[in-house]
Chains A and B, each alone.
Chain A
Amino acid sequence: MMKHQPFEKWLCEQDALSGTEAQLLQDHLASCARCATFADSLRAVENRFNDAATLSPQPGFTKRWRARLARQRKIERQRETTSSIATLSVGLFALLLVLGARLLPLLQLVAPQFIAWFENVSDVLVHLNLAREILATILESTITSIPLGYRIAIPFVLFTMFALWFTSMYRLGILPVRRRLQDETFT
């Protein structure tokens, strides 16, 4: 049975052969059809590879690349913002936990006073609301019992009285004081 090694190995490695090795290979290729076909096939494949063109992308590759880079940057910015918010949230939560644990005794001291103050405030608010409701009921019942002419006249009279009061106050109270001050400045 004919041996095909090391001839096949030499063909595939393509390292420089010594004179004797080259001769041995030539002799073997002349007598072995399998290795000769193998050598021809390898040569044909190599020729095909060497002759193959360097393919280029479709026109506008650079433009598409720039658009992709812009998209990539946008995604990275969004990712950075999200991670910053997440980090801050975690930090804040941790801080609250630590502070909460530290401030708990203090909070326990202040809590009853705070609750009492809150109750007082809510009591005041309840009373104010009650007063508003009473006033609204009185006004509603009064307004419905007053005739239409009086309903128009009363605001008018009230406005006139307010205007008279304001004019009197201005003339008798504010104007004399102003004049006196001006006289003192000149003298």
Chain B
Amino acid sequence: MSDRTQEQEWISLAVMGDDDAFTRLVEAYQAPVYNLCYRMLGDGAEAEDAAQEAFIKAYQGLRSYDPNRSFTTWLLSIASHHCIDRLRRKRILTLSLEDLLPSQEKPDSKLSPEALVARSETEESIRVLLHQLGDKDRAAIILRYWYEMTYEEISQTLSLSVSAVKSRLHRARREVAKQWMEQETSLFTTRGRHDEASAL
């Protein structure tokens, strides 16, 4: 049985109230949904909470799912809208728990300490780059680069027009490239000062 057929069977069973079938869908899609929430929110604990909430919303709205549409797009649409709402609420609330809660990311035991440090630095730089962007621009970038979605798929996922997606991606690319340039410039300046100090 193909993955798609299997998935459709699980969905049909879940619509009829089979919790185990939906649990299988959760098992299959936990990583993409969690990854999207993590990239959007930038915090492990919040991403876990948001991913669970997104699955609850998907479970409750499963009857509205159109089988002709991609389940992944539908699920990621719920998750991205949930994250955008969450960020909006958070901004209204102003009080952020981000600084109080430590990240829940578990270090990969297979990686060496050096590789872990490098990975952590990379993740941090990605987090900084993404958090310079507006919520929808960030969602568009994540869907484009992590999920390799086409403009049409992104427009469906984020409920935007294709031209709006193009415009958001254009703006987001310009922002991240400029941010990268600034990072590189400041790094270069710091290194230069450090070299001068050691020469003296």
Contact = CB atoms under 8 A, between A and B. Distances in A.
A51 B170 CA distance: 20
A58 B47 CA distance: 11
A9 interface: yes
A61 B34 contact: yes
B10 interface: no
B86 interface: no
Interface in A73-128: none
Interface of B: 19, 23, 26-27, 30-32, 34-35, 38, 47-48, 51-52, 55-56, 59, 104-106, 119, 122-123, 125-126, 129, 141, 145-146, 166, 169-171, 173-174, 176-178, 180-181, 184
Contacts of A53: 119
Interface of A: 8-9, 11-14, 37-38, 41-42, 44-46, 48-58, 61-62, 64-66, 68-69, 72
B23 A68 contact: no
A41 B34 contact: no
Given A46-B145, A49-B141, A57 B51 contact: yes
A8 B174 contact: yes
Q: Specify which of A48, A51, A64 lies most central, judged by the most chain B CB atoms within 10 Å of its CB.
A: A48
A41 B31 contact: no
B101 to A, nearest CB: 14
23 contacts: A12-B171, A41-B177, A41-B184, A42-B176, A42-B180, A46-B145, A48-B125, A48-B126, A51-B122, A52-B123, A52-B145, A53-B119, A55-B31, A56-B30, A56-B35, A57-B34, A58-B48, A61-B30, A61-B34, A61-B51, A62-B30, A65-B26, A66-B23
B59 A69 contact: yes
Contacts of B126: 48-49, 52
